[in-house]
């Protein structure tokens, strides 16, 4: 089993789904605008500047494509704009929402949505709406709880139980991780390799 960094390289940013080329397979990082998608992407690749991060939610404003190393070309990881809170105009938020929905609904070679839930907060109403929407589209979901290091050890067991019950999944269905501490990152790397059929 390979658990080393994902050899990801930035391809380009897209605004329009029609501009996306055909690839063999791709997974998409989806979650609230402050859930830590870009930080996670950097941790997966062990490259701190691969994806733009910001202390202000909403750093990801386009569909950003990253490709695995040449021996696995045609296998992409997509970093999508977040939903929910971000200090941008309503019009900008609507543009992101349209971009996200069109991508999820229409992208044929999307093999799984990697849904990121803030482990320190638990599933919000927006997260649960997103789960329902993905189920209605029959999109496979890979559940990931971020910011595990922000949960006090004394509350960890209870928080994990609450999170899985709200999502309606088992504990085995959720990968808990911390992009900052590195816990859970090797497991998610392997999951992504398996989903993409990568070596």
Decide if pLDDT at 85 tops 60. no
Tell whether the model's pLDDT for residue 179 goes beyond 60: yes
Burial bucket for residue 158 (CB in 10 Å: 0-12, 13-18, 19+): exposed
| Cα gap 18→128, rounded to integer Å | 28
Would you say residue 3 lies in a domain?
Answer: no
Note whether residue 182 is domain-resident. Answer: yes
pLDDT for residue 152 is more than 90: yes
CATH number at residue 86: 3.40.50.300
Burial class (CB in 10 A: 0-12, 13-18, 19+), 30: buried
Residue 28 has pLDDT above 50, yes or no: yes
73 found inside a domain: yes
pTM, 2 dp:
0.90
Answer for the pair 140, 112: CB distance below 8 angstroms, yes or no.
yes
Q: Is residue 1 part of a domain?
A: no
Domain assignment present for residue 143? The answer is: yes
Report the domain count for the chain.
Answer: 1
User: Which residue in the block uniquely carries the two structure tokens 């999944």?
Assistant: 169
Q: Is residue 2 part of a domain?
A: no
Q: What is the pLDDT of residue 55?
A: 44
Q: For residue 134, is it within any domain?
A: yes
Across the chain, mean pLDDT equals 88
**Domain presence at residue 110:** yes
Residue 77 belongs to what domain range?
A: 8-196
Average pLDDT on 61-85 reads: 85
**Could you give the dihedral angle defined by the CA atoms of residues 189, 29, 102 and 198, in that order, rounded to the nearest 10 degrees?**
-10
């Amino acid at each position: 089993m390979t658990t080393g960094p994902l050899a990801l390289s930035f391809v380009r940013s897209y605004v329009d789904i029609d501009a996306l080329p055909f690839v063999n397979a791709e997974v998409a990082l989806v979650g609230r605008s402050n859930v830590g998608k870009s930080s996670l992407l950097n941790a997966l690749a062990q490259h701190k500047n691969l994806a733009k991060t910001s202390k202000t939610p909403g750093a990801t404003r386009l569909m950003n494509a990253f490709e695995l190393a040449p021996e696995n070309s045609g296998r992409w990881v997509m970093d999508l704009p977040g939903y929910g809170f971000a200090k941008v105009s309503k019009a900008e938020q609507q543009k992101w929402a349209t971009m996200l929905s069109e991508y999820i609904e229409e992208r044929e070679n999307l093999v799984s949505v990697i849904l990121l839930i803030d482990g320190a907060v638990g599933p919000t109403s927006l997260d649960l709406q997103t789960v329902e929407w993905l189920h209605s589209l029959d999109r496979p979901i890979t559940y990931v709880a971020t910011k595990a290091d922000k949960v006090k050890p004394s509350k960890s067991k209870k928080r994990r139980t609450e999170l899985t019950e709200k999502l309606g999944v088992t504990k085995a269905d959720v990968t808990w991780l911390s992009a900052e501490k590195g816990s859970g990152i090797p497991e998610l790397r392997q999951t992504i390799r398996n989903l993409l059929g990568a070596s």
